[in-house]
Chain A
């Protein structure tokens, strides 16, 4: 018996697969501008990818406070980095910060959208449920030695994490 997926003609429902719409975080409150918890912390947010898609760009919801560098990427459930932007200067503006990445086919399945930040003063648009709610939603973290996301994540259930950044995957290139 052979299972074949996807069926021809099936595609993702939107151009963005993101924390607000495709994670497992109840949407009780809207995101706000909040300070990154600690320098070189990577936060991994599980995303449900329900069909086969091509990752063309990544994005984060930036704010006007941003002087450091960030890295943004996608991991499979085993912790292997599939694609990332590399260390990139933060945009200091209330806007999407978009990262061009190598076109990468993923899904369907569970993936993790990752974001790291080089300092603990920059702000990102984020959800801030009290700890340990992010852990209960499946959000993971890792203390890195630098801002660059690792090839293999050594992630942990972070019992004190109280911030979930907003961003995601773009399936088509956008002009900013």
Chain B
């Protein structure tokens, strides 16, 4: 008979860098204001944001939050990567679609994927930066970049294996994965 720890961490319905205790951007000391709509920073750039998954979790969909302008018709892709020495490594799963309705959360169904507890990386990329906006927060201080993200150029579609570099850009994009199928 195995006794589990006293506290059991439930699985949230929506998981992103903003999820308390799971993501790096949830604490107001890091990102001091609400996420807002902003233009995608650079065509085909992938942004990788760390996510600590403390409990067994089944990923059912990936999602992102469209901003005020989506007329660029960009292809957005969100994925999840394994950790490789505190950097993103091999891609586990991803989903993509042409950017849809402005100011909506856009979901893409993916193969249900079981995740063991551990460190992972949420990735997001856009094929275009023109008329392409998504919600993002920015850190309270630019010197906090290191806790928030890494990035990679020419990464749309998302690569099978990440080749990340440190980032000096402050955007922390609102995207991630869902553990439900509620529409």
A1 CB-CB contact with B under 8 Å: yes
Name 15 interchain pairs, CB-CB below 8 A, sorted by A.
A1-B1, A3-B2, A24-B13, A24-B19, A27-B28, A28-B34, A77-B180, A107-B8, A108-B7, A109-B8, A110-B12, A132-B104, A136-B65, A136-B174, A156-B182
The total of chain A residues at the interface (CB under 8 A) is: 38
A residues 38-74 near B (Cβ < 8 Å) are: 46, 48-51
B residues apposed to A, CB below 8 Å: 1-14, 16, 18-20, 25-28, 31-36, 63, 65-66, 101, 103-105, 135, 174, 180, 182-183
Closest residue of A by beta carbon distance from B183: A157
Q: How far is the CB of A149 from chain B (nearest CB, A)?
A: 17
Closest to A29 in B: B34
Interfacial residues of chain A within 77-135, with CB under 8 A of chain B in the complex? 77, 107-110, 129-133, 135
Do A26 and B13 touch across chains, with their CB atoms under 8 A apart? no
Q: Closest residue to A50 on the B side, CB-wise?
A: B7
Q: Provide the bound-state CA to CA distance between A50 and B12, in Å.
A: 12
Decide: A155 and B182 in contact? CB cutoff 8 A.
yes
CA distance A107 to B104 in the complex (A): 32
Whether B4 and A4, one on each chain, are in contact in the complex, defined by CB atoms closer than 8 angstroms, is: yes
Residues of B within 8 A of A157 (CB): 105, 182-183
Does any Cβ of B come within 8 Å of A6's Cβ? yes
A28 touches which of B14, B20, B28, B66 (Cβ 8 Å): B28
- Contacts A5-B8, A50-B8 given; 7 further ones with Cβ under 8 A? A26-B20, A28-B28, A110-B13, A129-B34, A133-B34, A138-B14, A159-B103
Which 6 A-B residue pairings sit nearest by Cβ, starting from the closest? Answer: A10-B6, A108-B8, A138-B13, A138-B14, A110-B10, A50-B7
Min CB distance A42 to B, Å, is 14
Q: Contact between B14 and A137 (Cβ–Cβ < 8 Å)?
A: yes
A140 contacts partner chain B, Cβ-Cβ < 8 Å: yes
**Chain B: which residue is nearest A5 at the CB level?**
B4
The reply to whether the CB of A7 lies closer than 8 angstroms to some CB of chain B is yes
